[in-house]
Amino acid sequence: MIKRNLLVVGFEISLLFSFVVGYYRGHTLIADKTCAELQVNNSSVICVCNATYCDTVTREEPHPRRFMVYTSSKAGLRFKKFTSILEVFDLCKVTECSTTLELEPRKRYQTIHGFGGAITDSAAINWSNLKDEELKQNLIESYCGDSGIQYNMLRVPIGGTDFSPRFYTYQDYPERDKDLSNFTLAPEDLNYKLPMIKACMKASNDSIDILGSLWYPPAWMKSTKKSNGISFLEEEYYDALALYHLKFIKEYYKQGVPIWGITTTNEPLSGITKHANDNVLGWSVYGLANWIVNYLAPKIKRYDPSIKILGVDDQRFTVPLWFNAALKHVPELGRAIDGIGLHYYENELVPPEIVDRCFKNYPNLFVLSSEASIHSQTNNKVDLGSWDRAEKYIKNIIEDLNHNYTAWIDWNVCLDKMGGPVLSKTYLDSPVIVDPDAGVFYKQPLFYAMGHFSKFIPKGSKRIQSVEKYNCGDPIKHVAFSTPMNTIVVVVFNDKNKEKVVRLKLGYSQAKVLLEKNSIATVEFHNDVIDESCDCEK
């Protein structure tokens, strides 16, 4: 149980040490505000933010021939900084257990679009419930500012979702109006979602790409005339639903929020399964492909060819259904979409190689992760301080990036202490939990898990080849990139309850990194090769 007096103590301790400057071998690091940590039960720590104090992280520009390490751990480290000298990689000193990640920047793969989360009604309402403007700004800066984890992608629902206070669309009335003459943004957009999105856009020094997703259309377009339950779109409204998306894009643009891309319906499989009690829309394979090719894509691309259209927007195991089978019915689908969005759920059931195989013949398309969240089947509530949940995100992000995903977008950016509000009562966890009554919000381990990628792998980075060698234990989970700043970034995850030394080899230079037990580390150094080697033979 969280005690209010513990919050005060935590803030006092952090204030004492927040501006301490670290010195490592003569190099001064930028002083960040440290985590106002609070231990919760037997979990890891959460970091508490109030109106006057919130922890920060600043990316250090690596010095020539040095490397930077940022570490977060189950024991409570949060972006702890360390710098040291790049050494000469000496093959003569390598042993069987000298775990080495050999980097090859000339072997490149996908280009990164970015990382982010969703501005749902629930998230934006929770943010709005923080009455102190400085506290609200601290949450925005934590996500989108230079002193935060620098999200550059935001997903926004097109109308209501299960994480909304009510069922609504942008034209509930008049019914059967195919021209959508009364299409109007909802109070949830104007009072909550748009202000939060604009605050993020203002805080960011990078452009923020907005991805729109529809959960369900006006009920009068559906076969059952209900917002929820198993249903399909009536064929007579195929063009009207395409127009619905276009009007959303235009209305958001009028509000100063350009749309980067749209998905072609959130989790269409849910609309024809037991999950249909939520506000959803079901599709047949042919129906969805036909609608995209002949209605949605022509209307959107005529308006703005740069807007991305992403198919599937469902679990990984549905790719053969919504992509492969759909292409057999409507081959033009491969040219009508720009890529696909996949959800995190049930990933353990289907290996990521299924995506590689599906995309083998479509090199023009990209894949991103468009939604992720965590809850327990036995306890759906928020689990404050859970490192296990952070581990799940870390492992999935590394796996996805190593299989050519170009972006990774989380679900609700913030929820209340119950994991809501939510219509379906299916409460979820979130990287940030707000407590308006206490005048604080809590940064979960999930927040730092996301930040180890979003903060240090900017848009335009390219994944590079990284091969593990000289390891006598379990493989180290990792992924490596070259960035637009001509640096190398490697994210390494140690899921063992003991420390481990890993060498990151680039040419004849190496960064020798000590991984804390149960930790994630992001390492960055310049993309330069030391032209030296040992003259032994081995």
Residues 72 and 119 reside in one and the same domain: no
- In whole angstroms, what separates CA 520 from the centre of its chain? 16
Output 9 or 116, whichever has higher pLDDT: 116
Instruction: Give me the CATH number covering residue 383.
Output: 3.20.20.80
**Does the residue 256 lie in any domain?**
yes
**Does the residue 98 lie in any domain?**
yes
As a three-state string, the secondary structure of 457-496 is: CCCCCEEEEEEEECCCCCCCEEEEEECCCCEEEEEEEECC
Output 136 or 16, whichever has higher pLDDT: 136
Residues 263 and 375 reside in one and the same domain: yes
Q: pLDDT grade, residue 471 (50/70/90)?
A: confident
Q: What is the pLDDT of residue 38?
A: 96
Q: What is the pLDDT of residue 11?
A: 41
Query: For 152-194, what is each residue's pLDDT tens digit?
Result: 999 999 999 999 999 999 999 999 999 999 999 999 999 999 9
* Greatest C-alpha distance within the chain: 82
Q: CA-to-CA distance for 501 and 97, rounded, in angstroms?
A: 10
Residues 172 and 312 reside in one and the same domain: yes
Q: pLDDT grade, residue 380 (50/70/90)?
A: low
Residues 216 and 77 reside in one and the same domain: no
Query: For 198-242, what is each residue's pLDDT tens digit?
Result: 999 999 999 999 999 999 999 999 999 988 888 999 999 999 999
End-of-domain residue from the set 388, 414, 433:
433
Encoding tokens for residue 300? Answer: 């959107």
Q: What is the pLDDT of residue 2?
A: 45
Encoding tokens for residue 184? Answer: 């109007």
**Does the residue 1 lie in any domain?**
no
In three-state secondary structure terms, 144 is: helix
Q: What is the mean pLDDT of residues 462-480?
A: 94
Query: For 497-518, what is each residue's pLDDT tens digit?
Result: 999 999 999 999 999 999 999 9
Per the structure, the count of domains in the chain is 2
Range of the domain at 220: 114-433
Q: pLDDT grade, residue 438 (50/70/90)?
A: very high
End-of-domain residue from the set 433, 454, 489:
433
Residues 486 and 397 reside in one and the same domain: no
**Does the residue 41 lie in any domain?**
no
Q: pLDDT grade, residue 279 (50/70/90)?
A: confident
**Does the residue 53 lie in any domain?**
no
pLDDT averaged over the chain? 91
**Does the residue 35 lie in any domain?**
no
Q: What is the pLDDT of residue 71?
A: 98
DSSP 192: I
- What predicted TM-score, i.e. pTM, was given to this entire model? 0.93
Residues 312 and 357 reside in one and the same domain: yes
Residues 136 and 223 reside in one and the same domain: yes
Contacts of 473 (CB under 8 A, 6+ apart): 97, 99, 500
**Does the residue 37 lie in any domain?**
no
Residues 151 and 65 reside in one and the same domain: no
Output 380 or 111, whichever has higher pLDDT: 111
Residues 123 and 91 reside in one and the same domain: no
Q: What is the pLDDT of residue 274?
A: 63
Q: pLDDT grade, residue 28 (50/70/90)?
A: confident
Residues 305 and 377 reside in one and the same domain: yes
Instruction: Give me the CATH number covering residue 468.
Output: 2.60.40.1180
pLDDT at 466 over 50: yes
Residues 96 and 170 reside in one and the same domain: no
Residue pair 491/398 in contact by the 8 Å Cβ criterion: yes
End-of-domain residue from the set 433, 452, 472:
433
Residues 189 and 306 reside in one and the same domain: yes
Burial classification of residue 6, based on how many CB atoms lie within 10 Å of its CB (0-12 exposed, 13-18 middle, 19 or more buried)? middle
Q: Catalytic residue numbers?
A: 267, 371
pLDDT at 3 over 70: no
Q: What is the pLDDT of residue 335?
A: 96
Q: What is the pLDDT of residue 378?
A: 63
Q: Which helix (H) or strand (E) holds 115?
A: strand 114-118
Q: What is the pLDDT of residue 27?
A: 62
**How many CB atoms sit inside 10 A of residue 172's CB?**
16
**How many CB atoms sit inside 10 A of residue 16's CB?**
10
**Does the residue 538 lie in any domain?**
no
